[in-house]
Amino acid sequence: MKKVLYPILSVIALLVGLPAAAQRNESHNAEIARHLELFDDIYRQLDIYYVDTLSADTVIRWAIKAMLDHVDPFTQYYPADDDELRQMATGKYAGIGSLIRYNRKEERAMVVEPYEGTPSQLAGVRAGDVILTIDGKDVKKKMTDEVSSMLRGEAGTSFELRVKRSGEAEPLTFRLTRQTIQLPSISYYGMKDDGVGYICLSNFTTGSALEMRHAYQNLQSRGMQSLVLDLRDNPGGSIDEAIHIVNLFVGKGQKVVYTKGKMASSNRDYYTTSEPLDTVTPIVVLVNGSSASAAEILSGSLQDMDRAVVMGSRTYGKGLVQAIHDVSDRGDLKITISRYYIPSGRCIQAYDYRHLTGDGRVGTVPDSLTRVFHTRGGREVRDGGGIKPDVEARLDSLSSIVYDVVQSDELLNFVTQYALEHDSIASPADYAMTDEEYAAFVAYMAESGFESHRRTDDVLKLLREAARLEGCYDRAESTLAQLEEVLKSDLSEELMRLREVIRPYIEDEIVCRYYYQRGRAEHLLLNDTVFDQAVELLKDREQYNKILHP
């Protein structure tokens, strides 16, 4: 018995003596191997017995996509032939430089805007041109991502683009040569009244900080006394570029961000490394719910350091960091490797992708569970839900009919016709539609067959269905009919009633046809109530200082 027990007890003692972490790691690896074996077995049986022959490339990509979709929306696989990742990182791609969108009536992609100075714009391609063929290949019913892929390619390669243009009896043909397109980070900057400078920073790609430095120095040379930095709808990008921009406004050697992840290599501290441009000029940073990632690092760091007043609505809440890893020779994996923390020590991640709610949605951290942190000057700030502005201010939400009009092909078609009839318009800061021009727009929409998807129609339909289920439809029928009549509206009357809301959107689109993105960004400020509030705050230095140093 002893001869049997001693070896057994020795093995038990050895196992107990192993570090717990090593045992867990061994168990974890065994579990991975078991499940990979299961996946391999299922795929092989599918390949042998499934009624149709399946492409291994297609099926495996399905599996990869399904797996990554359940991790978080930022962890993604990019095949070797996909240049989207490089474009996101650098802001560059090889193509003709046009924004396109699907036109439902034409069942084709349509050029919405040729970017200024790019091959498409220089060759004469215009907004409103409907794409017929690309190198002889018909693109009818092809979605924009497929058409966009056809327009892109190796820099220096040429192709033939055939388009249909309003006002032209025959299609137009262009011979275009693809070039490396550098998307600008700053769509517009300029001086406004009372020495207020304005910079609209739209992304954080390679060179963003250098663009920002040049824009800021230009405004300084023109007498800037204060700055509105617009980060609304900025999806973020490079952490390094965000750090460099923070460094323009705070001293050298300041910790701006630190990251924490599973691997030691993911833990890193980011400091400012250069002497700043300006540490005293008052700044208001504009943000909204679409300001994310690096835009939150920039706005949150300036808030934590009491260097700027943040104004707008709460930001998206992306506190996760991604890195690029090679996948053998078959592409790249952009994978979430850490969380980031801004100077106060807070992480602003708002969404918990690993724990869904009962109905399958991504859960967020409730305000009651967020923790209090403090800025350098002692102001309270919180984690867990994006950057909460120091001053709440937001644009009014759009009614359903306004949203449908703004997003419609009919509005773009009207603007295309307008551009054909007008060789030039006033400058972006001065242009305004006349009442007669707006009336022409209303008439055009009425004749075009435009239909708005009214939300009240959906609610009425649900009410009728509920009344039938409850057995009270006979009693409610006349009341519902009266309610439907009350809610019914004439399109022309609605458009005239909402003209002060809709008109600025038409003006923005018209200005873009003549002055491109820089003109649109400048003209948008004419009807931007949040920007107006920022300017008013910068004029009131006492109130500005009171917010930063209560």
- Is residue 488 flagged as an active site residue? no
Reduce the DSSP state of residue 543 to 3 states and report it: helix
What is the secondary structure of 98-133 as a DSSP string? EEEEEETTTTEEEEEEEPTTSHHHHHT--TTPEEEE
Q: Write down the residue that tokens 């900025």 correspond to.
A: 234
Number of H helices, E strands in the chain: 18, 23
| 35/186 Cα distance (integer angstroms) | 48
Contact between 363 and 375 (Cβ < 8 Å)? no
| 216/44 Cα distance (integer angstroms) | 60
| 10/176 Cα distance (integer angstroms) | 77
| 301/298 Cα distance (integer angstroms) | 5
DSSP classification of residue 330: S
Strand extents, DSSP E, 202-308:
226-230, 255-261, 268-271, 283-287
**Exposed (0-12), middle (13-18) or buried (19+): which is 102, by Cβ within 10 Å?**
middle
CA 548 to chain centre: 29
- Is residue 145 flagged as an active site residue? no
| 96/515 Cα distance (integer angstroms) | 18
The residue among 130, 34, 148 whose CA lies nearest residue 87 is 148
Catalytic residue (one of 92, 142, 318, 334): 318
CB within 8 Å of 411: residues ≥ 6 apart: 405, 445, 505, 506, 509
DSSP classification of residue 175: E
Helices 499-524, 435-448: crossing angle, 10 deg rounding: 110
| 550/545 Cα distance (integer angstroms) | 8
- Is residue 238 flagged as an active site residue? no
Catalytic residue (one of 187, 293, 299, 313): 293
Strand extents, DSSP E, 121-210:
130-134, 137-138, 158-164, 172-177, 179-182, 186-191, 196-201
Phi, psi of 318 (to 5 degrees): -105, 100
DSSP classification of residue 221: H
Catalytic residue (one of 304, 390, 508, 528): 304
Contact between 412 and 397 (Cβ < 8 Å)? no
Q: Which tokens go with 134?
A: 């690309």
Catalytic residues: 293, 304, 318
